[in-house]
Amino acid sequence: MKRSSYSRRRFIRDLSMASAAISPAISTLAACGVAPEKKLGIALVGLGGYSSGQLGPALQQTRNCYLAGIVTGTPSKAKDWSARYNIPAANIYNYENFDSIANNPAIDIVYVVLPIAMHKEYTVRAAKAGKHVICEKPMAISVSECEEMIAACRKANRMLSIGYRLHFEPFNKEMMRLGQQKVYGKILEIEAGNGYVYGGDPNAWRLKKALAGGGSLMDMGVYVVQAARYVTGEEPVYVKASEEKLRPELFTEVDETIAFELEFPSGAIARGISSYNRNLNNLKAKAEKGVFELTAAYRYGGQTGYTPSGPMQFPQVNQQALQMDDFANCILQNRRSPVPGEMGLLDLKVIEGIYRSVRSGKREKI
């Protein structure tokens, strides 16, 4: 079928029916210096809950970029967004005419906020259209897709960044600093969990393997994998994992709860849990000279943390605004993103290792 006649809505419907990075260096914001002469235009591809609840509002607070355009297959959303954010008709696209975005100089960056199975296609198409790309996490449904996305952006000489907002959040940045700089000595153990009790639409795309690639591990567990990597500053080499499914009638295609143990070259062990049936939001690091932790780690706001010296005290920030501003600065200053496609690729290598261990019941090499 020709791309021009195959909509996002039909893509999701058909798949649903059929299924019935680099060492994680410390992420720091570059000094802004003087305000840039030009704000870069961002087009959001996909106007679901994350775009409407977080990215759209965040783009009203950014300094280096702005909401220039949208891509949606729903005319009513196009009308609402146009009115709310004063988006001109020339900057509103659907999934059939998306490639013509290449001819629009007002749009510099395409932000892919679609079901995971669609990340690769729209990242590649955006790069071919000459646009820089931010892709939501997890980067794709497989390591091979991540590699294709990186190659496409490299070939087009466009930058690719992954939506790892917590690299710009002060409490998580402090966890990176304390761990990687061994402020309290060598890291011995990490305990981390991220999850919630799913009570949404039983037919949602997140519960369809063909669209989501997996369940809680892909959606929530990627934060835990990230945390283990950015606190230690290392890449895990082995993993042992197991799955729990207490609601099999709902999670027929994807994982509900997965527990995993990552082994790092230094000897550090990270024990993680992802879940669609438990409320989890923690990150604790046990070091030679003490414990430091976030008791509210991965939210869009409201982080809390503690060290042997007492509570962490940092301002609450708009994580998405900082993330997008930093990427705009990367383009304007021609510097590498601290959260590049290669980082997303490395997370998928770990995730694939976890799934292999679940299937085999054995310790697997990553």
Of 137, 173, 208, 284, catalytic: 137
Closest by Cα among 151, 149, 155 to 134: 149
Of 223, 230, 298, 355, catalytic: 223
Which stretches of 86-192 are DSSP H helices?
119-128, 143-155, 170-180
Distance, in Å, from the CA atom of 315 to the CA atom of 303, rounded to the nearest integer, reads 9
Helix (H, G, I), strand (E, B) or coil at 240: strand
| Other Cβ atoms closer than 10 A to 82 | 15
Residue 77 is among the residues annotated as catalytic for this protein: no
User: Looking at this protein, which amino acid is placed at residue 227?
Assistant: A
Residue 223 is among the residues annotated as catalytic for this protein: yes
Distance, in Å, from the CA atom of 162 to the CA atom of 222, rounded to the nearest integer, reads 12
Distance, in Å, from the CA atom of 65 to the CA atom of 44, rounded to the nearest integer, reads 12
Distance, in Å, from the CA atom of 82 to the CA atom of 84, rounded to the nearest integer, reads 6
Q: ∠ CA 4-9-123 to the nearest 5 degrees?
A: 65
Distance, in Å, from the CA atom of 216 to the CA atom of 4, rounded to the nearest integer, reads 33
Annotated catalytic residues are 137, 223
